[in-house]
Amino acid sequence: MFGLTLVRKDVGNTSLTAEFHEGSGRLRISSNGVISHEFFPPDSWVIVATSASGSKWGTRPSEIDLLHVLEQFAA
C-alpha cells in the first residue's frame, strides 16, 4: 500500500510537522498539532519541488525533502 512520510521540526516554542501521503499526494503542515495548511497535487508537488530543488524526489519526497519544506514554512 501507500506510505506516509512524516517529519517534525521544533522552532522556538512551535512544533512544526509535515506529512506527505504517497497515495493521494496530499501534503499537510501542522503547527503545534493543528493543521495550518493542506495541499493536493499538483500544488503539493510544486511546494516540495520548490523547497527541495536539489533533490530527485520524483513523487515520493524523503524526510530530508520535507524538512526543507518545513524550513520554508518556518521562515
pLDDT digits (tens, 9 = 90+) for 9-46: 999 999 999 999 999 999 999 999 999 999 999 999 99
Confirm if 16 and 28 have CB atoms less than 8 A apart: no
Q: pTM of the entire structure?
A: 0.89
The residue segments making up the domain with residue 54 are: 4-74
Which DSSP helix (H) or strand (E) runs through 48?
A: helix 43-51
Side-chain half-sphere exposure of 26, counting CA atoms within 13 A: 12
Write 27-36 long-range contacts (CB < 8 A, 24+). Answer: 27/69, 29/69, 29/70, 29/73, 36/73
Number of domains in the chain: 1
